[in-house]
Amino acid sequence: MPHKLTRLHVVLFVSTVITTLMAGAFLNGVVPWEEPGKIYLGLPFSLTLLLILMTHELSHYFMSRRHNVYATLPYFIPAPSIIGTFGAVIKMRPPIPDRRSLMDIGASGPIGGFIVAVIAVIVGLGMSEVKPAAELHEGISFGSSILFSLLSELVLDIDPEKYGVLLHPVAFAGWIGLLVTSLNLLPIGQLDGGHIIYAMFGEKHELISKGTIPVLIVLGVVFWPGWLFWAVIMYFLGYRHPPVVYPYIRLDRKRKIMGWACLVIFILTFTPVPATMM
């Protein structure tokens, strides 16, 4: 049975539109309550980010329906923050039939959101402002993944040692989309990466899941303290994964390739230091 749209879904979505719109306005130098007539300037950021999140979650939803697994429509989470949201989630209800359906459901979201995020980054970089490094002011500096660095070089063709980039809101939304993709692909518990690892390796999932938490702690000590926060969250959310109904049904070649493709996406989008103060 498809899950119905509820009042809560609508209220959360509208609230998230408002908070991301305000965040986008701030990115354009507009204080919404001082210049409410200019809040529309936040639309490029808001619409791009919501499209990425929507694509990610609806990919999960429709793939769940395809495999007759109960799933809710996306719940968007508004937040008074620099990006205006804590993302979006759907709730799935076990049981999941087999590893093939688990792979389809787990991988569809990251792949769908990743594609939209890459397009947003390419389009947004083309509208971004390039400045000599000496002219950049103090503030928050956002880190770069392997993929974001490659796209920056291809689109802007600049020397990163001499020039800095003031990201257009669309590019920033795409950057967030890539970061969200990598976070979801962490091979822990019931994150998307956890679903994929369980589909690929079965009960060995627990060993990989447990081993990822100390890796996050090391990353938090060496690179970015925020990884310590993630390690704590992942520990309390749990590293186990519920079993599928028919574990003896193995992955076919197409789905194995899908799983390894998600690993490549994770490596390309992972950002060791998401943000620092300049």
pTM of the model: 0.93
Q: Is the pLDDT of residue 1 over 90?
A: no
Mean pLDDT within 46-55: 98
pLDDT of 241-264, one tens digit each? 989 999 999 999 999 999 999 999
Q: Which of 268, 27, 7 has the alpha carbon at shortest distance from 151?
A: 268
